[in-house]
Chains A and B, each alone.
Chain A
Amino acid sequence: MPERQAVTGKKTEKGQPPALQLMKIRKQFGEHEVLKKIDMNIGIGEVISIIGPSGSGKTTLIRTVNRLETLNGGEVVLFGEDFIKGGLSLNRQQVRSGMQRIGMVFQNFNLFPHKTALENIMLAPRYHGTTGNAELNRQQALFLLDRVGLLAHANKYPHQLSGGQQQRVAIARTLALSPDIILFDEPTSALDPEMVGEVLKVIQELAKEGMTLIIVTHEMDFALSVSDRVVMMEHGVVQADARPQSILKADNSTPELLRIREFMGIENTDAADSTRSEP
């Protein structure tokens, strides 16, 4: 955790726009308002964990950032440039180049079942022509597979891999387009418990390397150890947005953080306990 702060300190240089600014994001499905004017700033190199009860809008929030859902209102600004404006359509080129800067990892991996691990990774760079010739693309894909510890499985099809391995291939596939921001939607929720660690480790390494990450997760220990900030959503609003050590230190002097502590299952501190048991 201390290591993480040092890195962040260096990164928040003045004059640089944040990686991502969400301004008054609104989204409704029919009558149901799922996101109620969400504001959030994510600095370059920052790691944000989003937690919250099921149905609170976490998935919807990161899907709007990735244009998988349309907005009913608000704006998304990417590295200081307009990316999404509720209701308005921006110019295509701008949207395309913005999309290229954002990667996404899904809860259910969504690997392409008709392609091998290697081909899954090579598909997008080949389509975009971003890695020059086929051989370079192959080399890059192999490098990425090695990075997630799956070089030996390059030619296997997704169904021949375990869930944890599939998710690591999915991360490598996202990395192949060299995104500046990666969104994770509960990357370990679909995994058997023994595979959670290997995936979290890969994400942790990305965090250490200074990648901007937004992670929706239920892994509370992981969220506390890897994040610069933990955001708690509830009923479509940001209920709390705090640094892990503030959350750990929170007591009755910071009542707004007690709910997030309770949700994360952190035992209340002595101070909080004693004041509560007094009356």
Chain B
Amino acid sequence: MNLDWGYFFSLFTMSAFYQACVTVITLSTLGWFFGLILGFVTACAKMSTSRWLNIPAGVFIWFFRSVPLLVVLVFVYNLPQLFPATGPFLGVPYFAGLVSLVVTEAAYMAEIHRSGLLAVGKGQKEAGHALNIGFLGIQRLIVIPQALRISMPALTNEYITAIKLSSLVSAISLPELLQTGQRLYSQNFLVMETLLAVAVYYVGIVTIFGGALQWLEKRWMCLLVSQTHSLMNNVMLYAKTQ
């Protein structure tokens, strides 16, 4: 089998690919970030004792975890047919892609946040209560910072997932990496060379940006270790005092 290496290497000097990289990076970063926030709100709603909050949140998580992103994507992109008013926004492939990515990621990250929030011990909230700190203050100062440290590794993993999922947006003709490659090989038929280059671009993005996020996470890691340490200690203390 012979590959056209000259062509392959030429793909790394093509500005269209670098623009596509920017699209992939911004799309997945924004998708991840808003997904993180929406996921957190959803997790809080699901944990709420109010039915008006926990049932819709449960349905949201259940639904968007079940429906493939590609289906969500095509659906969202075509929403303007039902609601013409959304046209200027959802008719744009980038925004349709972003919205789809956000809701899908939010559904996943809600579950990650929820397990993080549940992992913060009851005693922590009681200590806050004993210091006369109100419900919101306890969440803001005590529970959320600890929960985020617990769920951070899983959340950074989701960032890598988001980078890869963004390739699906090619289906609604957003010129991200895969789409840019597809346009090329549909003309020159050099499928293998083109996709190999696309793969290299993805590996580069995941390595650099996923790595950067993991590095940030590691800077928190010493605290994370302290977290698990004291969690373990508390478990042992509990066992000892029972």
Chains A and B are bound partners = yes
The range of chain B's interface size is 20 to 34
For chain B residues 97-149, which have a beta carbon within 8 Å of chain A?
A: 121, 123-124, 126-127, 129-133, 137, 141-142, 145-146, 149
Q: B5 contacts which chain A residues (CB < 8 A)?
A: none
Q: Are A110 and B126 in contact (CB under 8 A)?
A: yes
A123 interface contact, C-beta 8 A = yes
Query: How far, in angstroms, from A173 to B141 measured CA to CA in the complex?
Result: 15
Given known contacts A108-B238, A159-B229, A189-B241, A103 and B130 CB-to-CB distance under 8 angstroms: yes
Shortest Cβ distance from A124 into chain B, in angstroms? 4
Q: Are A159 and B230 in contact (CB under 8 A)?
A: yes
Across the interface, A128 reaches (CB within 8 A) one of B126, B132, B146, namely B132
For chain A residues 102-118, which have a beta carbon within 8 Å of chain B?
A: 102-104, 106-108, 110-114
Query: How far, in angstroms, from A173 to B132 measured CA to CA in the complex?
Result: 12
B19 interface contact, C-beta 8 A = no
Q: B227 contacts which chain A residues (CB < 8 A)?
A: 113-114
A66 interface contact, C-beta 8 A = yes
Nearest chain-A residue to B233 (Cβ)?
A159
Max count, chain B CB within 10 A of own CB: residue among A112, A114, A163: A114
Q: A190 contacts which chain B residues (CB < 8 A)?
A: 237, 240-241
Nearest chain-B residue to A156 (Cβ)?
B226
Query: How far, in angstroms, from A163 to B240 measured CA to CA in the complex?
Result: 13
Shortest Cβ distance from B235 into chain A, in angstroms? 10
A158 interface contact, C-beta 8 A = yes
B207 interface contact, C-beta 8 A = no
The range of chain A's interface size is 20 to 34
A143 interface contact, C-beta 8 A = no
Q: Are B241 and A107 in contact (CB under 8 A)?
A: yes
A252 interface contact, C-beta 8 A = no
Shortest Cβ distance from B192 into chain A, in angstroms? 50
Shortest Cβ distance from B128 into chain A, in angstroms? 8
Q: Are B129 and A127 in contact (CB under 8 A)?
A: no
Query: How far, in angstroms, from A112 to B145 measured CA to CA in the complex?
Result: 10
A211 interface contact, C-beta 8 A = no
A67 interface contact, C-beta 8 A = yes
A174 interface contact, C-beta 8 A = yes
Given known contacts A108-B123, A110-B127, A124 and B133 CB-to-CB distance under 8 angstroms: yes
Across the interface, B137 reaches (CB within 8 A) one of A96, A110, A127, namely A127
Nearest chain-A residue to B142 (Cβ)?
A112
Q: B137 contacts which chain A residues (CB < 8 A)?
A: 127
Q: Are A104 and B130 in contact (CB under 8 A)?
A: yes
For chain B residues 191-225, which have a beta carbon within 8 Å of chain A?
A: 223, 225
Shortest Cβ distance from A99 into chain B, in angstroms? 4
Q: Are A112 and B127 in contact (CB under 8 A)?
A: yes
- Chain B positions 86 through 104: 1 when the CB is less than 8 Å from some CB of chain A, otherwise 0: 0000000000000000000
Ordered by A's residue number, 13 sampled pairs between the chains whose C-beta atoms are within 8 Å are: A106-B127, A106-B130, A108-B123, A108-B237, A110-B124, A111-B230, A112-B146, A114-B145, A114-B146, A124-B132, A159-B230, A173-B131, A174-B131
